[in-house]
Amino acid sequence: MSEQFYVKNATNKLEKVLVCSPKYYKFNAINEITKSWMEKGDAEKNDVMVHEWEYLLQAYRDSGVEVIEMEPDPQLEVMTFARDFGGMVKEGAIIGHFRHPARQRETEVYEAKLKELGIPVIARVNAGCFEGGDIWMLDEHTIAFGLVDRTDEAGVANLRDQLSKYGYTVVGVPVPPANLHLDMVFNIVTEDVCLAATRELPYNFLQMVKRRGFTIIDVPSEEVFRHGCNVQALGNNKVIAIENNRTINNQMKEAGVEVIEVPFVQVLHGGGGPHCLTFPLKRA
């Protein structure tokens, strides 16, 4: 009998994801991107957001990924960004703690869904904060947590204690807080290619990435808020990326990556991209 596992790295074939429609999404000035669009007078345009989101779901299904949809709750205005309630590792789920009250009730409904799906919770933040946009498995034994705007030292220390018994080394990655989450400035695309806004990331972290044999595609800082790093690895050298980020997409193609492009515009005004919208439940 083969060993049961969920997500043991960032790049194995993506088999199952959890997502939530932006049907009831409401602009909320809890990130710099949305705040700037609100100041320009932009509004949600939920029908447009749902239409764009459906392109992402179709890309998953066309790639053989099982898509599990949450029931959106009109009272949970930001729950479309399914990534953020926690993280997934080989042994099961990590439940985070949202920094902003506007998102804290999401944890309860997402955790109930995990229970329904029979997925165990192996760690839970009970001191400090951690959000799922800040977790990256650099390899099968090393987990990087962004210390940006939503995850703090107390949360990372709390998880370091809980995850050590599973053999994980936990590394904190300090990043200027305007960047919101680590996945806005860093993304693992394939086993040997990653995207990194190098001017936003610490030298020691970049050296850690290089030592693991990654080719780094440098993303200019001005591309961060255009979600230049916010892609979703599918495994088998494939990635879902945003159609308008042509320069970065071309660089990934030149590195031998197959890029599946989704026409996101309005979703991005909400402060997240394909990676933020997706909670990975299983990688082969």
- Taking only the tens place, the pLDDT of each residue in 205-260 is 999 999 999 999 999 999 999 999 999 999 999 999 999 999 999 999 999 999 99
**Between the CA of residue 282 and those of 17, 188, 191, what are the distances in Å?**
7, 16, 17
The Cβ of residue 145 has, within 10 Å, a number of other Cβ atoms equal to: 24
Residue count (the chain): 284
Residue bearing tokens 């429609």: 21
The Cβ of residue 105 has, within 10 Å, a number of other Cβ atoms equal to: 14
pTM of the model: 0.94
Secondary-structure percent of the chain, ordered helix, strand, coil, rounded to 5: 35, 25, 40
Q: How confident is the model at residue 45, as a pLDDT?
A: 84
Q: How confident is the model at residue 200, as a pLDDT?
A: 98
Helices marked H in the chain — which ranges?
32-39, 46-62, 101-104, 106-116, 153-163, 203-211, 246-254, 266-269
Q: How confident is the model at residue 224, as a pLDDT?
A: 94
5: tokens are: 């596992």
Question: Helix (H, G, I), strand (E, B), or coil: what is residue 210?
Answer: helix
Would you say residue 34 has pLDDT above 70? no
Domains annotated for the chain, with CATH where assigned, are: 14-283 (3.75.10.10)
Residue bearing tokens 């660089």: 251
pLDDT tens, 51-74?
A: 999 999 999 999 999 999 999 999
